[in-house]
A and B are shown apart, each in its own frame.
Chain A
Amino acid sequence: MQADVFTRRRNNALIFFALLAILTAGSIIITQYDVQKGFTSIARALIWGASNFYPDARSLTKLPDILVKLRETVLMSIAATSVAAIFSLLLAVAGSRTTRICSSFTVIARGIASFFRNVPLVAWAMILMLAFSQSSLTGFLALFFGSLGFLTRAFMETIDEVGENTVEALKSTGAAYFPVIFQAVLPASMPQVVSWLLFMVETNIRDATLVGLLTGTGIGFSFDVYYNAFNYHAASLVVIVIVITVLIVEMVSNGVRRVIL
């Protein structure tokens, strides 16, 4: 009996890896991807990057302009994330299993969450561009919708996880719905909620660059302009500034997490 378990586990692993191999080989054949060329061009790309894609002294004069754009992008990401978080929290409380008023709210909240989450950010930006053309509002809304979907789902799961026991306890004291939410659910889930919020800010700063490329705003647009003007030195400076910013934001949010958890 016990030997069976081990044989079955080994066979499952073998089947899994065989399937993986077939999938890989299949995709390579169908897309006619040249594996050897693929790997050799990585080296060539690196060599090109090293000889052209680095900031030089002249590009440093563009730094003040880049920083202005960077500030715009960072602030927009934070604004989009925090506004989305407020709406997400409302949706999550209404939709979570432990705090919902009726079960149809769960279906609605989950539906909203998956709809906004599953439409790719780029698609949001393109669609919104039709309505608002190239402006910061387009970028803001694209990030807002993406974050709304993700955060609603994350908050709902957080509340489900931490809320159940304390909700039961407070309900049994005869407390009404809103006191239970404000005295038990929100305090108990706050650290995780803030943690998800910080994660979303980080992600959004990265994504804002891409959205900016499309909507012609912020740091993404600067990159696009320099790149199209063959000013690779300035473009590389933009990339480095973005990387540094994301690292700093990550460090700050890790610090905040340590304090609140």
Chain B
Amino acid sequence: MALLELKNVTKYYSGTTPALAGVSFSVNDGEFVSVIGSSGSGKSTLLRCINRMVEVTSGEISFGGVVVSRLGKKDLRKVRTKIGMIFQQFNLVDRMSVIENVLHGRLGYKSTLAGVLGRYTHEEKWQALKVIQMLGLEQQVYQRCDQLSGGQKQRVGIARALVQNPKMILCDEPIASLDPRSAKIIMDHLRSICTDIGMTLVISLHQVDMALKYTDRIIGLNRGVVVFDGTPGELTSQRSAEIYAREPKDVNINLGERNAS
């Protein structure tokens, strides 16, 4: 059964051009799905619609059998605890230590008072330490996050998502601000989270090669429309050119871009 299902999801920010236009697909439990497309194709919007950080204009999103778009505030928070999220800019509180940032992942389960005071149970701290260890940050547990490298920061971001005990993790361009070596470490971690723990991941990516190498399934977005949905094997260079084309059928532009960069 599908864990996540999008039906005809459409989003207008303003004006007449949609950021997402009738996006439909479903993600099965344990799948590692990448969303690719050029800047402004709607990748980030799509991810944020899933946990309603961005409200959809029309369409329906259901997660674990619950229709997310109809939930009230309290139930929405409950659903969000089950969806982890990691970000391009890491979005950590830089002045706090690694362990404190990781424990932020538990805030969704807490009463307001306990959350405000930052009181975590012994089990939560122990779980946080275990996750930190799993991601190879045991030397940095009490270091402030502004002293970490980009790759380490992103691992803290992953740890924060994992201590939520989520059913799915959304990754918004997690390697776009990292150097190639750190990017590989992060992608290896994400892959093993999927394979070893059986976590479902939806990741937006700039790099087609990363999508081909690491993910089970690729969804190609072009100006808010799904133009490809299939396995890495099915993504021929012709299909990939279609994803990155500026205008429909204008498939040669991709080559030009590659030469320019």
Tell me the A residues contacting B by CB distance below 8 Å. 165-166, 168-176, 178-184, 187-188, 190-191
Contact = CB atoms under 8 A, between A and B. Distances in A.
A191 B95 contact: yes
Given A169-B85, A169-B160, A172-B51, A187 B104 contact: no
Given A169-B160, A172-B53, A176-B112, A183 B118 contact: yes
Which 8 A-B pairs give the minimum distances between C-beta atoms?
A174-B108, A179-B115, A174-B80, A175-B107, A169-B91, A174-B81, A165-B91, A172-B85
Interface-central residue, A179, A181, A184, A188, by most chain B CB under 10 Å: A179
A181 B117 CA distance: 11
Contacts of A184: 93, 104
Nearest to A164: B91
Contact of B79 (A171, A174, A188): A174
A165 B84 contact: no
B40 to A, nearest CB: 19
B68 to A, nearest CB: 12
Contact of A190 (B82, B95, B170): B95
Nearest to A180: B107
B110 A179 contact: yes
B89 interface: yes
B160 A173 contact: yes
Contacts, number: 89
A169 B161 CA distance: 10
A176 B93 contact: no
Contacts of B104: 169-170, 173, 175, 183-184
Interface in B49-88: 51, 53, 77-85, 87
A170 B117 CA distance: 15
A172 B118 CA distance: 17
A184 B160 CA distance: 14
Contact of A179 (B78, B92, B112): B112
B224 interface: no
B116 interface: yes
A187 B95 CA distance: 7
Nearest to A191: B95
Contacts of A191: 95
Contacts of B95: 187-188, 190-191
A178 B116 CA distance: 6
B53 A175 contact: no
Given A179-B112, A191-B95, A173 B81 contact: yes
B2 interface: no
A153 to B, nearest CB: 23
B118 A182 contact: yes
Contact of A173 (B80, B92, B96, B112): B80
Nearest to A177: B112
Contacts of B116: 178-179, 181-183
Given A169-B92, A170-B107, A187-B95, A182 B115 contact: yes
B222 interface: no
Given A169-B85, A172-B85, A181-B116, 19 more contacts: A165-B87, A165-B89, A168-B53, A168-B91, A169-B87, A169-B157, A169-B160, A170-B104, A172-B51, A173-B80, A173-B81, A173-B106, A174-B80, A175-B104, A176-B77, A183-B104, A183-B116, A183-B118, A188-B93
A195 B117 CA distance: 24
Contacts of A168: 53, 87, 91
Given A165-B89, A168-B87, A183 B107 contact: yes
A169 B109 CA distance: 15
A232 to B, nearest CB: 51
A190 B82 CA distance: 30
20 contacts: A165-B90, A168-B87, A169-B85, A173-B160, A173-B161, A174-B77, A174-B80, A174-B82, A174-B164, A175-B104, A176-B115, A179-B112, A179-B116, A183-B104, A183-B116, A183-B118, A184-B104, A187-B93, A187-B95, A191-B95
